[in-house]
């Protein structure tokens, strides 16, 4: 049973053309995260939502935006993708309180190619 | 800021043998969580094992165990009776117990299992 779903799994976009990546979850978790993972590197947190409260990492470029219209869905918008934005984008979720707050559940990722 | 270091970019182990993956971290906090995540090729990242810093006892999950040395800021993962399905990228990660939900990942270790 899929718990964190990312669509599409592979996305190709043109240099400068806006693109949106989607994440949904069936876990009813409070917190949703977006990570960027470049080839053979560690995932890097871009931002996260705690319910509707948006938390941006200090070094996340302005080119990256996010929306969370409801508990289940979260979107990553890249306004003007550059070649350096080609990466795997991982969505993750976790509880906001309780015993299991520290475990994050990851989706399969969306691999973004910029041409 | 916390940092996580994995000094072994790649490791190999013979099937049924034991392998240890190294991880060190740097923090000024006294309470935190440590994790090992497994990322198989083209598959989603999953949690392998976690350790609460306040617990002296090393965590164990079936064939996976950790050697947590708090004073030395070391958190190694031991995989016993290695199986072909253990082949993956392994990430060590740190999470503050007090400040936010952020996971800080190491650069990862690719584990190859030979039959």
Assigned token pair, B48: 């392998």
Exposed, middle or buried, B72 (CB in 10 Å: 0-12/13-18/19+)?
A: exposed
Strand segments, DSSP code E, in chain B are 3-5, 10-14, 19-21, 24-26, 32-39, 46-52, 60-61, 64-69, 74-79, 88-96, 103-105, 109-114
3-state secondary structure of A29: coil
**Residues of A in Cβ contact (< 8 Å) with B43:** 108
Contact B108 A55 (CB under 8 A): no
Interface test with B, best of A42, A50, A95, A98 (most B CBs within 10 A): A42
Interface test with A, best of B5, B50, B103, B108 (most A CBs within 10 A): B103
CA nearest to B94 within chain A = A102
CA-closest candidate to residue A110, choices A13, A27, A1, A32: A13
- Amino acid A49: pLDDT: 93
Contact B31, B43 (CB under 8 A): no
CA nearest to A105 within chain B = B46
Q: What is the mean pLDDT of chain A?
A: 92
Query: Band of the pLDDT at B31, cuts 50, 70, 90?
Result: confident
**pLDDT above 90: residue A41:** no
């Amino acid at each position: 049973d899929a718990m964190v779903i990312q669509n599409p799994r592979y996305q190709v976009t043109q240099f400068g053309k806006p693109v949106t990546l989607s994440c949904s979850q069936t876990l009813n978790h409070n917190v949703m995260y977006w990570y960027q993972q470049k080839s053979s590197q560690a995932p890097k947190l871009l931002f996260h939502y705690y319910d509707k409260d948006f938390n941006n990492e200090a070094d996340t470029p302005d080119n990256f935006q996010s929306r969370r219209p409801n508990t289940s869905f979260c979107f990553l918008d890249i306004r003007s993708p550059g070649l350096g934005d080609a990466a795997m984008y991982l969505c993750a979720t976790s509880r906001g309180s309780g015993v299991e707050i520290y475990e994050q559940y990851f989706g399969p990722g969306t691999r973004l190619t910029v041409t | 800021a916390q940092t996580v270091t994995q000094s072994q970019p790649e490791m190999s182990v013979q099937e049924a043998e034991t392998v240890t993956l190294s991880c060190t971290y740097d923090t000024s906090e006294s309470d935190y969580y440590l994790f090992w995540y497994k990322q198989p090729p083209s598959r989603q990242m999953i949690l392998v094992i976690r350790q609460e810093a306040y617990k002296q006892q090393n965590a164990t999950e079936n064939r996976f165990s950790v050697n947590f040395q708090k004073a030395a800021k070391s958190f190694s993962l031991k995989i016993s009776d290695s199986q072909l399905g253990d082949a993956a990228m392994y990430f060590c990660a740190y999470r503050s117990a007090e400040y936010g939900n952020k996971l800080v990942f190491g650069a990862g270790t690719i584990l190859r299992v030979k039959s």
